[in-house]
Amino acid sequence: MATVAAAGHPVERTAFSIIFAASFCHMLNDIMQSLLTSLYPLLKENYALDFVQIGLLTFAFQVTASLLQPAVGVVTDRWPMPFSLPAAMLSTCAGLITLAFAHHFSVLVLGACLIGIGSAIFHPEASRVARLASGGRHGFAQSFFQVGGNTGTAIGPLLAAFIVIPHGQSSLGWFSLIALLGFAVLSGVSVWYMRHRRSTAGRPQPSRTLPLPGRQVAMTLLILVILVATKNAYLASLSSYFTFYTIHRFGVDVQQAQILLFLFLGASAAGVFFGGPIGDRFGSRSVIWFSILGVIPFALMLPYANLFWTCVLVVVIGLIFSSAFSAIVVFAQELVPGRVGMIAGLFFGFAFGFGGLGAAVLGLFADRHGIEFVYNLCSYLPLLGLLTVLLPRLPGHQRA
């Protein structure tokens, strides 16, 4: 039941079941997506791919999602589409089945694109649902939603290591059952979303008045986009090529490399989870400062570490660096109020797109100069995080 604020407007309670459902389906969605990158060693062997083709697969998936997500966000800000969420799962399901039975590299690219389309439809609307269900705890809702995705991304390599790699590429088809589970849960979420819209139809629309001058808002958004670009280009070097790096440098086998990747991705999921509530308490800007700047020394040390310290450093990097994303999304949504879908689509989409572009470029460098050169080069990317000093304080912003 709603409580009443001092101003006389109803204040909704946090709908934890809806946030949990959105996060759970984010986990399922990203389990299926992470299977693609986790299978790169198997696909490389089965289809005799080079690193450029590996990068192109990531590019096809992430850029498809990148180009469509902002457009989906803009459209659904104007015309909400509650039942687009289960439809997204069907696209991802089709992509998995395509990958399972692909007979040529071009079919692999098609499967990657279908997964990207599912991602483009899912993320903006699911992020909006999490915010609607937050009861004002926007940082908590965004981080809990996001941690589902990171958890799924971390679980994917384990499923690949212990199910798909031993049983072959066609076993990917069984994971379409995960998509059908997500379809069922998101159908229920869509019903709640539709009822929520009906119950709030008579309320005034949120103000779209910018908290800062338009030019300063545009400059701040540009800085946030650069921070997301830097973060995801660096993370692409870990998520797409970390297994190859550990196999080449330390001589571990494929399953051990997947477990090391799980350490990094699991730490990233934990970092996302804690980033949101800390942002509610201390402000999104403070979390961005800590996350982006705090990772610099550890990133610079990573290329020179032995196997033990590599494991330690990727855990620390995952914890610190990943806490920034939900804070960046919340900060941008406060910077441009009333455009939740557009902002979510822009930043989720740009995150995917620049990660894909970074993966393709890094694959080119890996083929020409070796995988260790890539990790030496990427260790300097977090230095661009020094741009956080230019982020303004939002007037009237209160800590939760």
pLDDT at site 353:
63
Question: Which contiguous run of DSSP H or E holds residue 10?
Answer: strand 10-11
Within-domain flag for 295: yes
| Percent of the residues in the chain that have a pLDDT greater than 90, as a whole number | 11
Three-class SS of residue 11?
Answer: strand
Judge whether 1 lies within some domain.
no
- The answer on pLDDT for 8 being more than 50 is no
Q: What is the pLDDT of residues 48-106, one digit of tens each?
A: 888 788 878 877 887 787 777 777 877 877 787 878 899 999 999 999 899 888 888 99
- The more confidently predicted of residues 380 and 10 is 380
Over residues 184-207, the pLDDT tens digits come to 999 999 999 888 878 776 666 666
Cα–Cα distance list, 389 to 288, 293, 328, 383, 393 (Å): 10, 10, 14, 12, 11
Res 10: pLDDT: 44
Looking at the structure of the chain, the number of domains it has is: 1
In-domain check, residue 397: no
Q: Provide DSSP, 302-316.
A: GGG--HHHHHHHHHH
Question: pLDDT, tens digit, for every residue of 100-151?
Answer: 888 889 999 999 899 889 988 888 888 888 888 887 777 788 778 877 877 7
Q: What is the domain extent for residue 40?
A: 17-200+211-390
Q: Which contiguous run of DSSP H or E holds residue 339? A: none
pLDDT at residue 145 in the model: 85
pLDDT: which is higher, 56 or 338: 56
Inform me whether the pLDDT recorded for 280 exceeds 90. Answer: no
- Listing DSSP states for 69-90 in one string gives HHHHHHHHHHS--TTHHHHHHH
Instruction: Evaluate whether residue 190 is within a structural domain.
Output: yes
Q: Is residue 321 part of a domain?
A: yes
Mean local confidence (pLDDT), 200-219: 73
Q: How far apart are CA 232 and CA 326, in angstroms?
A: 13
Confidence at residue 189, expressed as pLDDT on a 0 to 100 scale: 92
CATH number of the domain enclosing 272:
1.20.1250.20
What are 291-300's pLDDT values in tens digits?
A: 888 888 998 9
Q: Where are the alpha helices (DSSP H) in the chain?
A: 16-38, 40-47, 51-78, 84-100, 105-132, 138-159, 165-167, 176-199, 214-239, 242-250, 254-282, 284-294, 296-301, 307-321, 324-335, 340-369, 371-378
One-letter amino acid for residue 265 of the chain: L
* 19-47 pLDDT per residue, tens: 999 999 999 988 888 788 777 878 888 88
The pair of structure tokens assigned to 98 is 């395509």
C-alpha R_g of the chain: 20
Note whether residue 2 is domain-resident: no
Enter the tokens of residue 103.
């007979």
Let me know if residue 95 belongs to a domain. yes
The share of the chain scoring above pLDDT 70, in percent, equals 91
pTM of the model: 0.66
The answer, yes or no, to whether residue 9 has pLDDT greater than 60, is no
